[in-house]
Amino acid sequence: MDSKQLGILGERIAENYLKDKGYQILGKNYSSRISTGLKIGEVDIVAKKNDIISFIEVKTLQQVQGQPFSPEEKVDFGKQRKLVKTAESWLMKKKIPLNSKWQIDVIAIEVDSNRKAKINHFENAIPYC
């Protein structure tokens, strides 16, 4: 499975996981752009639960013995900044005040050779203040 297919599989797994946990899916693959059309960033899933909007970054890796890092470690500082700007863009586009309840989550998924997934959900993982 190539990385694009793995990413699609991971997002599908994350979406089902969130629905099972009582989240309402508000959108998928939202990307923000500046006036020239240049893409600033993308949020994989926008969901809502208990009046909190969650902007969710999904990171999926093929499980490999002795792997030196976990999927969530791939959300570096640069990616975090893009996620915050993209979340703010989504809120403004939907005319939702920036001071409403929202957070950025990371869902880390490791898929083994049998396509069984290990899921870690890090709620409110990225500060935006």
Written as tens digits, the pLDDT of the chain (129 aa) is 788 999 999 999 999 999 999 999 999 999 987 777 778 899 999 999 999 999 999 999 988 776 667 888 889 999 999 999 999 999 999 999 888 999 999 999 999 888 899 999 999 998 865
For the whole model, what pTM was predicted?
Answer: 0.90
> What are all long-range contacts of 89-97, with beta carbons under 8 Å and residues at least 24 apart?
89/32, 89/40, 90/27, 90/30, 90/32, 90/43, 90/46, 90/55, 91/53, 96/53
- Residue 22 dihedral angles phi and psi, to the nearest 5°: 90, 10
Angle subtended at Cα 113 by Cα 119 and Cα 21, rounded to the nearest 5 degrees = 20
Q: What is the per-residue pLDDT for 26? A: 97
92 vs 78: CA distance, rounded Å: 21
Q: What is the per-residue pLDDT for 37? A: 73
83 vs 77: CA distance, rounded Å: 10
Domain annotation for the chain: domains and CATH numbers: 3-122 (3.40.1350.10)
